[in-house]
Structure formats: structure tokens, C-alpha cells
């Protein structure tokens, strides 16, 4: 029996290279060794964007299309949308009863969410009851499938702690060992910055999307900020002062290409325009098969909805089985 892994993503629409390198690439590797459940977290999206739902359905679809294009295999992994598995909401109710209020209030996930909300919408933006319950809902997502592990970055390890605590408390209160305390599975993925050197993000306008065409990608890379000391083509440069391009070389280039770039930049043997053009070609070559698959799924959306339907059936079967056990353990009438 393979161990179970659960991971999800908010349906924010078309994904960018940061999502690919930081999350999806890792999922693709994990699905070979684990029984994986991947979900689009649409209820989580509502915790902060309950009043901006015009594009939620399409955004959900776009996220799943990106996953499939990048190599998530629905034959071996269950791909579903959170709201398609209502058992999670019921488990969330039971877990809410056993979770002390102060655990939720001190949870780093919630603190991050509130901070993000305030920075985007001002200090007076209200924190909803649903947002306050975010850590418990996240725990229900994980515990619904009794996941053994959750892939996380080094800065997210603490986010899994509350789930371990809730699972332990439930087991303790009801004298059971039913719930697994999930462990964080550290991924060592490359972090990619945006074209301006800051964190890559759709809202910052500094991202390259997985779905961008080769032409769009090359054009975006041409706009990247480079070493400001280089005015003329043969001015010696410093790759470490190049906001994004050299960092991208380190991610997408071979060690030899990185070494050449550094040498030619420092000696003033390569102009920034040529450097960006070469880099754009390399990135486009890497993403060509992904974009081809993406274009296929865009033209065959019915296949994507079929994949989500199948994934939901698999996820619900597992969820129902676990929920019945939970209800029996608690003593709920059924």
C-alpha cells in the first residue's frame, strides 16, 4: 500500500512558472511513489474572495488544465475540486468542535492570510468567520483522506502543525488511533523570482505563465531588468546585479551554459539583448511539450471535466469511508 499524499492549490486562474517549479514539478515526481490526491481549493478561495467569484469557475478549470499539461496523471492521481467533496465540510464541522479557539488564533497560516488580506485591502478589511476557520478546513482537507504527508516548502512546515495537533486531540478525546498525524514532506524545488527580481506573482504583473506562447515568453524576458551598470553592449557586467535573467539561467540552463553566461557577461562579450534571446529560446524549448498538451486540453475541455468527475468519484469514495468511521468513533446517529 502506497502512503497517501494530499496537496491543493487555490484556483487563481492560469498558473505561472513559479507554480510549476515550486509545486507542480514536485507533484509530478511524487505521484510515482505515493497515492496522490490533488485538489483545487475553491472553498479556500472564498475565505478571502467571497465577493469576487465571476471568474471562479473558469479559474478552477484553468488551474486543472495547467496541472494536466505539466504532467499530473489522472490515471494514477485523483484530481478533484474541493467543493465536489462535501464530506470535507462535514468533517470540518466535527473537527471545529474539538479544536480550541486559541489554536486557530495563533496558527501561522491564518496569521499569514490575515496579513495578506490587510496588505491588499487595507487594515479595515474584515476577517470573516470562514477565514477564521481556515486552519480547521485545511486540516479537514488533509485528514479527510488520512494523508500521511503533505508536500511543503521550508517556510510552510509550521502550517501542518495544527493538523497534527487536531488529529492528536481527536484521537485522544475519542480514545482512538484512527487519524494519522501527517508529516510535512519538504520539497527542494527551485524558487523563481519575477521579471523585476521580486516575488513572481500574477498580481505584480511580473510573471511568465505556463500558458504563454513562445512569442509572449520571449517578449516578457526581453522586458526583464538586467545589470543597470551595462549601458553599452561591451560594458563588463555583473550577473549578480542582474535582477532576473541570470537567476533564470541558473534554473533553466546547463552548468556549462551558466558558466559561459557568467564569463561573457563579466567580460562584456555578450550583450543583454542576445543573452535574453538565448534564455527565451531555452525556456520555450522546455515548455513546448507542456504548452502543446495545454493547447490540447483547452480544445477538449470535456476531457478535463471528465477527469475532474472521475477524480471526484475516487476522492468521495475514500472520503465517505473515512467519514463513516469518524461518525462511528464520535457516536453520531446514522
Scanning residues 16 to 75, which ones bind ligand SF4 (CB under 6 A)? Answer: none
The nearer residue to ligand SF4, 130 or 268, going by C-beta atoms, is 268
Contact 134, 110 (CB under 8 A): yes
Q: Supply the minimum distance, in Å, between the C-beta of residue 264 and ligand SF4.
A: 7
Contact 59, 11 (CB under 8 A): yes
The nearer residue to ligand SF4, 167 or 272, going by C-beta atoms, is 272
Contact 143, 290 (CB under 8 A): no
* Choices 105-113, 175-183, 193-201, 270-278 (CB under 6 A): range interacting with ligand SF4: 270-278
Residue where the block lists cell 567580460: 267
CA–CA distance, 56 with 129 (Å, rounded to integer)? 21
253 part of the interface to ligand SF4, by CB under 6 A: no
The nearer residue to ligand SF4, 30 or 272, going by C-beta atoms, is 272
Residues near ligand SF4 (CB under 6 A), total: 14
- Other beta carbons within 10 angstroms of residue 58's beta carbon come to 12
Strand partners, 5: 36, 149
230 part of the interface to ligand SF4, by CB under 6 A: yes
CA–CA distance, 296 with 65 (Å, rounded to integer)? 10
Q: Supply the minimum distance, in Å, between the C-beta of residue 240 and ligand SF4.
A: 9
Q: Cell numbers for 46, please give them.
A: 472564498
227 part of the interface to ligand SF4, by CB under 6 A: yes
The nearer residue to ligand SF4, 87 or 227, going by C-beta atoms, is 227
195 part of the interface to ligand SF4, by CB under 6 A: no
Q: Given the DSSP bridges, would you call strands 149-152 and 78-81 parallel, antiparallel or unpaired?
A: unpaired
Write the DSSP symbol of residue 193: B
With CB under 6 A as the contact rule, the residue among 179, 246, 248, 297 that binds ligand SF4 is 246
* Choices 25-33, 89-97, 142-150, 272-280 (CB under 6 A): range interacting with ligand SF4: 272-280
Contact 282, 275 (CB under 8 A): no
Scanning residues 275 to 304, which ones bind ligand SF4 (CB under 6 A)? Answer: 275-276
Torsion sign over Cα 62, 78, 306, 136: negative
- Other beta carbons within 10 angstroms of residue 281's beta carbon come to 14
245 part of the interface to ligand SF4, by CB under 6 A: yes
Which residues of the shown chain bind ligand SF4 in the complex (CB under 6 A)? 226-227, 230, 237, 239, 242, 245-246, 261, 265, 270, 272, 275-276
Amino acid at each position: 500500500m502506497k502512503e497517501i499524499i494530499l496537496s491543493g492549490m487555490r484556483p487563481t486562474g492560469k498558473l505561472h512558472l513559479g507554480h510549476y517549479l515550486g509545486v507542480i514539478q514536485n507533484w509530478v515526481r511524487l505521484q510515482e511513489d505515493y497515492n496522490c490526491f490533488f485538489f483545487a481549493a475553491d472553498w479556500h478561495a472564498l475565505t478571502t474572495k467571497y465577493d469576487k467569484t465571476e471568474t471562479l469557475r473558469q479559474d478552477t478549470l484553468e488551474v486543472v488544465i495547467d496541472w494536466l499539461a505539466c504532467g499530473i496523471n489522472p490515471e494514477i492521481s485523483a484530481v478533484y475540486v474541493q467543493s465536489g467533496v462535501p464530506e470535507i465540510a462535514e468533517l470540518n464541522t466535527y473537527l471545529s468542535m474539538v479544536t480550541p479557539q486559541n489554536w486557530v488564533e495563533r496558527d501561522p497560516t491564518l496569521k499569514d492570510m490575515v496579513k495578506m488580506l490587510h496588505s491588499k485591502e487595507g487594515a479595515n478589511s474584515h476577517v470573516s468567520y470562514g477565514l477564521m476557520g481556515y486552519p480547521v478546513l485545511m486540516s479537514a482537507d488533509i485528514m479527510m483522506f488520512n494523508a500521511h504527508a503533505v508536500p511543503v516548502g521550508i517556510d510552510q512546515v509550521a502550517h501542518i502543525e495544527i493538523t497534527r495537533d487536531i488529529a492528536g486531540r481527536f484521537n485522544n478525546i475519542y480514545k482512538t488511533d484512527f487519524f494519522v498525524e501527517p508529516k510535512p514532506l519538504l520539497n527542494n524545488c527551485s524558487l523563481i523570482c519575477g521579471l523585476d527580481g521580486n516575488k513572481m506573482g500574477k498580481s505584480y504583473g511580473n510573471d511568465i505563465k505556463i500558458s504563454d506562447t513562445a512569442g509572449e515568453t520571449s517578449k516578457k524576458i526581453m522586458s526583464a531588468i538586467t545589470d543597470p551598470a551595462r549601458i553599452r553592449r561591451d560594458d563588463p557586467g555583473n550577473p549578480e546585479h542582474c535582477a532576473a535573467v541570470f537567476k533564470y539561467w541558473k534554473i533553466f540552463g546547463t552548468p556549462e551554459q551558466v558558466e559561459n553566461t557568467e564569463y561573457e557577461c563579466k567580460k562584456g562579450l555578450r550583450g543583454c539583448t542576445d543573452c535574453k534571446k538565448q534564455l527565451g529560446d531555452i525556456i520555450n524549448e522546455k515548455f513546448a511539450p507542456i504548452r502543446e498538451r495545454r493547447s490540447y486540453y483547452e480544445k477538449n475541455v470535456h476531457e478535463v471535466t471528465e477527469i475532474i468527475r472521475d477524480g471526484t468519484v475516487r476522492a468521495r469514495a475514500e472520503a465517505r469511508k473515512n467519514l463513516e468511521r469518524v461518525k462511528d468513533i464520535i457516536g453520531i446517529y446514522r
